Amino acid sequence: MKKTFQMAKMGFALCASMLLVACGSSGESSKESSESTNSVTLMDEVKPVDITFWHAMKGPNADALEKIVADYNATVGKEKGVTVTPVFQDTGIASKVKMAASTDDIENAPDIIQTVGSDIPSLSALEEIVPAQEFFDSKNAGITTDDYYPHLLRTFTYKEKIMGVPMNVSTLLLYYNEDLLKKAGHTEAPATIAELAQYSTDLGKVDGVTGLNTEIARYQLANFIVSQSEKSFMGDNEGGRLQPMTEYTMGKDGTLKAFLTEWEKVVQSGSYKYLEDNPNEEFASGLNAMVLLSSARLGAINHLVGDKFQWKTAFLPKVNEKDTSGASVGGSALVMYNRGDNNKLAAAWDFIKYATSPEVQATWSQATGYIPVNKNTEKLDSMVEFYAKNPNYKVALEQMKASSPMAQEPFDLVNWEVNDIVKDTMGRFAQKQLSVDEAVEELSTKSNEALAEYIRVNE
């Protein structure tokens, strides 16, 4: 019997000694439906097979991912005769997956897809996609969803089904130059936007220094909206997670105005750079004392700064002191694609289990700065030692744990278009061309117009 996904109690089982496969979907393989019709059974063992893994990692993160694949192929994969081939697909993986499904291109389709959360709703409509929920529901499993942080499972949950297994996840952090803050008279990181504004003003008095550099785009705005309370969402249906979003509600529930009212203090600080030209390099050179960046930038910042100055990371400043929800999670999950070969599905799942195991996640997190998705990773001696030597890396994990699982980016269907709307509006707000009320009206109206048009075209 299927169990529904509930945040309060997550005790689903996942296959360990036995491997899961999907029985094939009903209807045409390229046909889209509101929910996958795949069902799940168990196999005693995997037969030798090659599987394809589409990903979008670049640079050092790509090197770290390919090492995971190579280590699997040389150990667990070799023992079982499974070979994983990573294929870089850059951005737009979801579009390529949908193209493969619509053309029945089974030969060139992937077995595993690394996909961002915002693509989950559209991918879930494909019959070829096998929800991870199908695997977590297995009664003969060896590990459970309790091995993953509930925040991360919810990040990739749609219509109460876990669609993908979290892999590379991060949170938005405040990076700050501790030496410059001390020169400005501050020994702790700002805890609220009002304090952030005051710090920026003070830092502006230090020669050649800009207090804060960050561009408010959709991702940043989403964090400040959902952080206000567990009931704060950018749109209806819990931000499009229970059902498709039909309206951006941030303009009428007060959360958008609350953020803009406080952010106006940052704009008025006189030491705020609202465009991100080279945020990593400018922070590392000491030009900007504070910057809001993903925790996935930790490795790059660490390398660029070196021993030039002391720097730290801190939680995302609250909109208001009494806010309770915390920062949201961003990143990607590993999603299964059914090519009609049960053995390939079993092999793909075996790799996903390996890639999200405690030991592998420790290596992955230390190399990239991504939050380890397996709760058992932080208990490993190697991870305890790493965090002791690199406390900046642990801040993202602690921020996630201190946040509500309800604090999530929206599944808003028009995220790229809304991202442009937010950047344009917030840019003019930063230049004092729009008042708080005008910015609220513009952001709300234009975002809802974009969403309404999408619904009209696709209904």
> Model confidence over 386-416: pLDDT tens digits?
999 999 999 999 999 999 999 999 999 899 9
| Residue 7 predicted with pLDDT over 80 | no
Which residues make up the CATH 3.40.190.10 domain(s) of the chain? 13-170+331-400, 171-328+405-458
Q: What's the whole-number mean pLDDT along residues 330-353? A: 92
In this structure, of 37-51, 91-105, 144-158, 416-430, the range with the lowest mean pLDDT score is 37-51
- Give the phi and the psi of residue 292 in degrees, each rounded to 5: -95, 115
Residue 431: exposure state from Cβ atoms within 10 A (0-12, 13-18, ≥19): exposed
Give residue 46's pLDDT: 84
Half-sphere exposure (CA, 13 Å, Cβ side) for 67?
13
Torsion angle of the four alpha carbons 215, 221, 223, 224, in this order, in degrees rounded to the nearest 10: 100
Measured at the CA of 311, the angle between CA 328 and CA 185, to 5 degrees, comes to 100
What angle, 0 to 180 degrees and rounded to 10, lies between the N-to-C axes of helices 193-203 and 255-267? 10
Per-residue 3-state assignment (H helix, E strand, C coil) for 156-211: CEECCEECCEEEEEEEEEEEEEHHHHHHCCCCCCCCEHHHHHHHHHHHCCCCCCEE
Give residue 41's pLDDT: 58
CB 289 within 8 A of CB 203: yes
Give residue 24's pLDDT: 33
**CATH homologous superfamily of 171-328+405-458:** Periplasmic binding protein-like II (3.40.190.10)
CA distance 418 to 425: 10
Looking at CATH, the fold of the domain delimited by 13-170+331-400 is given as D-Maltodextrin-Binding Protein; domain 2 (3.40.190)
Torsion angle of the four alpha carbons 241, 351, 88, 303, in this order, in degrees rounded to the nearest 10: 90
Among residues 154, 80, 152, the alpha carbon closest in space to that of 349 is found at: 80
CA distance 359 to 372: 10
Q: What's the whole-number mean pLDDT along residues 206-223? A: 97
CB 228 within 8 A of CB 258: yes
CA distance 181 to 290: 9
| Residue 25 predicted with pLDDT over 70 | no
pLDDT grade for 166, boundaries at 50, 70 and 90: very high
Rg, C-alpha atoms of the chain: 22
| Residue 39 predicted with pLDDT over 70 | no
Neighbour count for residue 68 (Cβ, 10 Å): 21
| Residue 187 predicted with pLDDT over 80 | yes
Does 61 or 25 have the greater pLDDT score? 61
| Residue 54 predicted with pLDDT over 50 | yes
